């Protein structure tokens, strides 16, 4: 999607703020001046300033102009202690009991949730979806109660296929399967290509539900190391392809959970080439891909996949309706095998949720809403980051995420994220200790914080308390 002129101007200013060229308290050039200088209409400048204001980066002061309100210091450079394997070695995963402890927090109504990687209810278009459900229910008498097709509602597949134009090709309904959330999509794809004992190469750091799923299927795991701040170690992966009969790869390619990392486009292209060369499928989990803060959407491996080795998976769970459990996949050459898995796992996906989402999407409300959601999340990321810099020990470092809804905080090596988790739990604050995401390595000096809840007093208090706890544990 091409960005509007005002968006490009806002983006440039934002980068200046993020890099510290424009500092807190700095006055922005006046609209008239800026319009003349850039050779654009004053209203374009106004729109750019409005956008930055909406993101909480600048504010208008009465009769004076626009001022930068965010102090993003330069200390945000991360100091990942990347734990690298020198040789690929398959192994079986162990369940982590900490996850059970984390689950206990789920029901608490008083908890300050810094642990949930899905949008807070306030960010979702509840009223609009309520309306869509009611209209879809009234209009679809005959389709409501019978089983939906195993492959999913055809009109829904068609409209999703068209939306994917944003990053790649148009996909036909026949290439897509609707699933019960992204989790089922990953499950079905995995089971379609791998049998117990097979070797999987997957992200070194990943959502623990994915790791458990892999463990449950009795697969042997090769952890692909993180290459740099962003991206995977593709050389290591190639070594693995050469040394072992790797059956399948699995990666969250954009705004990874927990790291927020995006695999650079060049690496994605190289990865797809390798897949083709070795004839190994990749399950690409792009569930956060639509939540980018820049003006353009990040690329996907799927868009470079001309031979159908990429099994693309995503859903509406992180953007629209987590509870509906509607996801989708583009399994490429493995379509019929995945469809067969769908039949024996859940027969079909809920007809009512599919019809309701279809109705919402048909009204063209999705892209408008996504834009709003991205702006809100971006603003929250900056607000949370600022609070962390203010209240946390100065040794903490992290990359500013360019999308998604999590921050991956690195502490000095002696720090134990699990201790902080326990201490925070006592004070009714939920966080995720780093080790639960580690497929390889310990990452015990990391924690994941979610910025999915609007920044309010409760969150501010929580972050303050958390910072104090971290200082106490560290010193």
Interface contacts to its own copies, rule CB under 8 A: 103, 106-107, 118, 121, 124, 126-127, 129-130, 133-134, 137-138, 141-150, 180-181, 183-184, 187, 191, 195-197, 209, 212-213, 216, 218, 317, 320-325, 340-341, 343-353, 356
The secondary structure element, H or E, covering residue 366 is helix 366-391
- Provide the 8-state DSSP code for 202: E
The residue among 124 and 280 lying less far from its own copies, judged by its C-beta, is 124
CB of 265 to its own copies, least distance (A): 30
DSSP string, 64-95: TEEEE-----GGG---------SS---B----
Please give the backbone phi and psi of residue 274, each rounded to the nearest 5 degrees, phi first: -60, -45
CB of 340 to its own copies, least distance (A): 8
CB of 131 to its own copies, least distance (A): 9
Structure tokens at 282: 């990749």
CB of 218 to its own copies, least distance (A): 6
The residue among 211 and 463 lying less far from its own copies, judged by its C-beta, is 211
Structure tokens at 119: 């949008």
Find all residues with CB under 8 Å of 48, minimum gap 6, and list them. Answer: 6, 7, 9, 10, 13
Report how far apart, in Å, the C-alpha atoms of 109 and of each of 88, 290, 353, 430, 459 are.
Answer: 44, 29, 26, 12, 14
User: Do the Cβ atoms of 214 and 283 come closer than 8 Å?
Assistant: no
Please give the backbone phi and psi of residue 283, each rounded to the nearest 5 degrees, phi first: -90, 110
The residue among 3 and 134 lying less far from its own copies, judged by its C-beta, is 134
Report the C-alpha gap between 419 and 428 in whole angstroms.
14
CB of 290 to its own copies, least distance (A): 16
The residue among 22 and 357 lying less far from its own copies, judged by its C-beta, is 357
Report the C-alpha gap between 70 and 65 in whole angstroms.
16
CB of 350 to its own copies, least distance (A): 5
Strand partners, 271: none
CB of 200 to its own copies, least distance (A): 15
Please give the backbone phi and psi of residue 95, each rounded to the nearest 5 degrees, phi first: -65, 150
The residue among 27 and 91 lying less far from its own copies, judged by its C-beta, is 91
The residue among 83 and 215 lying less far from its own copies, judged by its C-beta, is 215
Report the C-alpha gap between 71 and 329 in whole angstroms.
41
The residue among 265 and 340 lying less far from its own copies, judged by its C-beta, is 340
Report the C-alpha gap between 171 and 201 in whole angstroms.
27
The residue among 85 and 137 lying less far from its own copies, judged by its C-beta, is 137
Report the C-alpha gap between 455 and 377 in whole angstroms.
10
CB of 201 to its own copies, least distance (A): 20
CB of 372 to its own copies, least distance (A): 15
Find all residues with CB under 8 Å of 100, minimum gap 6, and list them. Answer: none
CB of 363 to its own copies, least distance (A): 16
The residue among 47 and 341 lying less far from its own copies, judged by its C-beta, is 341
CB of 424 to its own copies, least distance (A): 22
The residue among 351 and 381 lying less far from its own copies, judged by its C-beta, is 351
Peptide bond preceding 258 in cis form (omega within 30 of 0): yes
The residue among 150 and 462 lying less far from its own copies, judged by its C-beta, is 150
Report the C-alpha gap between 189 and 128 in whole angstroms.
32
Nearest to 314 by CA among 151, 184, 123: 184
Structure tokens at 197: 């004992």
């Amino acid at each position: 999607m091409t960005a509007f002129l005002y968006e490009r101007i806002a983006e440039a200013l934002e980068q200046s703020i993020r890099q510290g060229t424009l500092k807190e308290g700095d006055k922005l050039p006046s609209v008239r001046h800026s319009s003349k200088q850039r050779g654009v209409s004053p209203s374009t400048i106004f729109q750019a300033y409005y956008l930055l204001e909406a993101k909480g980066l600048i504010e208008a002061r009465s009769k004076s102009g626009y001022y930068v309100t965010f102090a993003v210091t330069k200390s945000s450079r991360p100091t990942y202690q990347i734990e690298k394997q020198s040789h690929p070695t398959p192994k079986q995963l162990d369940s982590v009991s900490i996850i059970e402890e984390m689950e206990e927090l789920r029901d608490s109504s008083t908890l300050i949730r810094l642990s949930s990687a899905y949008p807070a209810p306030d960010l979702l278009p509840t009223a609009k979806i309520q309306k869509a459900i009611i209209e879809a229910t009234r209009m679809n008498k005959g389709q409501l109660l019978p089983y939906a097709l195993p492959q999913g509602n055809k009109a829904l597949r068609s409209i999703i296929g068209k939306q994917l134009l944003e990053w790649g090709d148009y996909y036909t309904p026949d290439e897509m399967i609707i699933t019960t959330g992204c989790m089922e999509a990953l499950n079905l794809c995995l089971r379609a290509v791998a049998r117990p004992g097979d070797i999987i190469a997957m992200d070194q750091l990943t959502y623990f539900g994915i790791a458990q799923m892999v463990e449950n299927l009795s697969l042997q795991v090769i952890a692909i190391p993180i290459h740099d701040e962003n991206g995977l170690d593709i050389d290591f992966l190639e070594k693995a392809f050469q040394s072992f009969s790797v059956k399948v790869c699995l990666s969250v390619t954009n705004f990874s959970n927990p790291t927020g990392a995006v695999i650079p486009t060049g690496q994605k292209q190289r990865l797809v080439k390798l897949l083709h060369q070795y004839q190994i499928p990749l399950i690409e989990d792009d569930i956060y891909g639509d939540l980018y803060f820049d003006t353009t959407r990040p690329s996907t491996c799927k868009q470079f996949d001309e031979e159908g080795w990429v099994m693309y998976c995503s859903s509406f769970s992180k953007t629209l309706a987590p509870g509906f459990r509607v996801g989708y996949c583009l399994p490429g050459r493995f379509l019929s095998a995945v469809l067969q898995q769908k039949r024996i796992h859940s027969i079909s996906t809920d007809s009512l949720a599919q019809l309701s989402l279809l109705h919402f999407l048909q009204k063209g409300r999705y892209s408008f809403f996504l834009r709003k959601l991205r702006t809100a999340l971006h603003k929250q990321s900056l607000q949370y980051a600022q609070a962390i810099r203010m209240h946390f020990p100065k040794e903490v470092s992290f990359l500013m995420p360019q999308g998604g809804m999590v921050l991956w905080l690195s502490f000095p090596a002696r720090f134990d994220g699990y201790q902080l988790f326990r201490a925070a739990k006592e004070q009714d604050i939920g966080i995720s200790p780093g080790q639960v995401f580690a497929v390889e390595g310990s990452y015990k000096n990391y924690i994941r914080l979610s910025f999915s809840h609007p920044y309010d007093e409760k969150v501010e208090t929580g972050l303050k308390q958390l910072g104090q706890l971290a200082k106490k544990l560290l010193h």
